[in-house]
Amino acid sequence: MHRTATINEVSARYTILPEEWYIPEVVGGKPTNGMKQGQEDNLQDWQKQNFKEALNGMCKQNYELYLYYLSIGVAPEHARMMLHLNHYTHWVWKQDLSNLMHFLALRLDKHAQYEARVYAEAIYTLLKQYLPELMRLFDEHKRI
């Protein structure tokens, strides 16, 4: 985050997290252009499918372990260590429009990380639905 926002996350210390995790629709390979970040479409279909199936299987297995350890009395802040980084959480995000427009200008750029672009497109679509004139001005003056 490059600008200010107020973010409150649901705490897994007090709430049992739902059985939800992110499995990428698009699985990219390591870049061959010397870059340390990003992805390229250089994997074969079997590699992509294998990755997705393995990731989903490990998430299911670890979620079951998370629930098991909660059920036998392990502290939630320790039991949640069984969960993967791609386990969904819930946030309440508050931000003024100026900073949100800056965020969108950066994250809608074709060079932004794929998942960040998808998230930014979802925000953009919602804003365009409810604030069409604002988003018209954004497209004219702020969008990179």
CA–CA separation, 136 and 80 (whole Å): 43
C-alpha angle 92-19-72 in degrees, rounded to nearest 5: 110
Per-residue pLDDT of 119-143, as tens digits, reads: 999 999 999 999 999 999 999 988 7
pLDDT at position 1, please? 46
pLDDT at position 39, please? 84
pLDDT at position 7, please? 85
Active site residue ranges: 107
Q: Which of 89, 76, 63, 83 lies closest to 9, judged by CA?
A: 89
Per-residue pLDDT of 33-48, as tens digits, reads: 877 777 888 999 999 9
CA–CA separation, 111 and 58 (whole Å): 30
